[in-house]
Amino acid sequence: MLLAHFLKTVIHIGKLNVIDAKGRRHLSGSAPGPEVTVRLHNKKLHYKLLCNPDLHVGEAYMDGTLTIEKGSLEDLAEILMRNLPTALNYPAYSAYNKMCLLNRRWQHYNPIGRAQKNVAHHYDLPDDLYDLFLDRDRQYSCAYFTNPDEDLETAQRNKQIHLAAKLRINSDHRVLDIGSGWGGLALYLAQQRGAQVKGLTLSKEQFAYSCRKTQESKKSDQVKFALRDYREETGKYDRIVSVGMFEHVGIRHYEEFFDKIKDLLTDDGVFLLHSIGRMAGPSTTSSWIRKYIFPGGYSPALSEVMTSIERAGLWIADIEILRLHYAETLRLWSERFKANRREVAELLDVRFCRMWEYYLAISEAAFRYGDHMVFQIQITKHRDALPLTRDYISQDEQGISPKNIADSGDHRHALLHSARHSEIEIQEQANVQ
């Protein structure tokens, strides 16, 4: 049977026992890992799983035609992710994947109108859904764990502190938040840093929520939101930040994106880009994720991003790679989602619950066992827009005020200049002698 051959060929890590629609068992895998038993309830899956398991495993789980009889959904996601490199070499799956690679520029084509529709697909769901698994600020992006035992609220606040420190934001700055979500970061920067902040979103639900929260916080004089594509924004900003939005830009639009950043940024400004990425080089988006979760979305390799930054004539001041932070974030989201599953089912339906559970599980596996990570790139127009070393980031996070950090940076520059000047004087005296 082709399905049995496929399973034995691609599953090596962990043990996967598949009971097909005729009741026959197919056991594969032997290396250490989870043990999972799944049952197929539809004969069509015998063939669908050969051509594109990435799409059809997720669909079957959503529809209830694939059920787990032993182990957990997270165990199944781990087996799938850890054996994915082998599966990609299987002839039928390899052919499908190559076709996706050829079509990816169209898959990730996001002009202004289409970008709004893609965002609405995911973010304009019932508003209460996101309160059932996100933190109180509804930050729908990777948290920042200073230790693995931190809860979600603490780790998400850590991220806000970390981003503000990298941006060196103070009360004199005009800040643009591209992809502002539900406004949590914008409000934090206004409340804790005194900055004037403008947030851009394409989601009507997010826009309405952000405006409402801003009024409740009495920060309407400092924080504004616009239902607008970043390409339509005008003006100049001292600081620009984008968290979890770049994944929706599309590879055909990277140069357009960074050209726009250069246009919006003041000469001494700083831009911080926080995005999901991949370490294994250019690829394509999971067909299941693209169809059901993030149409038009793509997690880029750094090599795809660097070229566009270079062509825009911008400086990369710093890069930080967050390797396991998103795996931990997704684990906590999944725990909260499961704890509130009944409320989610009442809000939407059981099929949606299974879809979202699969999305969270397979995404966690991608960051824990696959090639996914998160990068933060600090970008400027000029090389001297930031201090000489990264000390100012940790100083800021420890509570030293931005003014003192600036003074410290200026003092260090003065010391370096003085030291170099002294070296020159000593060399000149030696030459005279």
**Per-residue pLDDT tens over the stretch 226-277:** 999 999 999 999 999 999 999 999 988 999 999 999 999 999 999 999 999 9
pLDDT at residue 86, as a whole number: 86
Q: What are phi and psi of 63, to 5 degrees?
A: -85, -10
Pairing of strands 265-278, 372-380: antiparallel
- Long-range contacts for 410-418 (Cβ within 8 Å, ≥24 apart)? 412/387, 412/388, 413/387, 413/388, 416/388
Strand partners, 176: 198, 240
DSSP 79: H
pLDDT at residue 428, as a whole number: 46
Q: Tally the C-alpha atoms within 13 A of residue 339's C-alpha that lie toward its C-beta.
A: 10
Residues 308 and 275 sit within 8 Å (Cβ to Cβ):
no
Strand partners, 177: 199, 241
Distance of CA 99 to the CA centre of its chain: 25
Report how far residue 358's alpha carbon sits from residue 286's, in angstroms, rounded to the nearest whole number. Answer: 13
Amino acid at 101: L
Spatial CB neighbours of 403, under 8 Å, sequence gap ≥ 6: 170
pLDDT at residue 53, as a whole number: 87
pLDDT at residue 279, as a whole number: 94
Beta strands in 220-278 (DSSP E): 223-227, 237-243, 265-278
Report how far residue 297's alpha carbon sits from residue 42's, in angstroms, rounded to the nearest whole number. Answer: 30
Local confidence pLDDT in tens for the 433 residues of the chain: 688 888 999 999 999 999 999 999 999 998 899 999 999 999 999 989 887 888 999 999 999 999 999 999 999 999 999 998 887 777 766 666 666 666 666 666 667 766 667 766 777 788 899 999 999 999 999 999 999 899 999 999 999 999 999 999 999 999 999 999 999 999 999 999 999 999 999 999 999 999 999 999 999 999 999 999 999 999 999 999 999 999 999 988 999 999 999 999 999 999 999 999 999 889 888 999 999 999 888 999 999 999 999 999 999 999 999 999 999 999 999 999 999 999 999 999 999 999 999 999 999 999 999 999 999 999 999 999 999 999 999 999 988 654 544 444 444 444 344 444 444 444 445 444 4
Short-list 374, 380, 260, CA closest to 318: 380
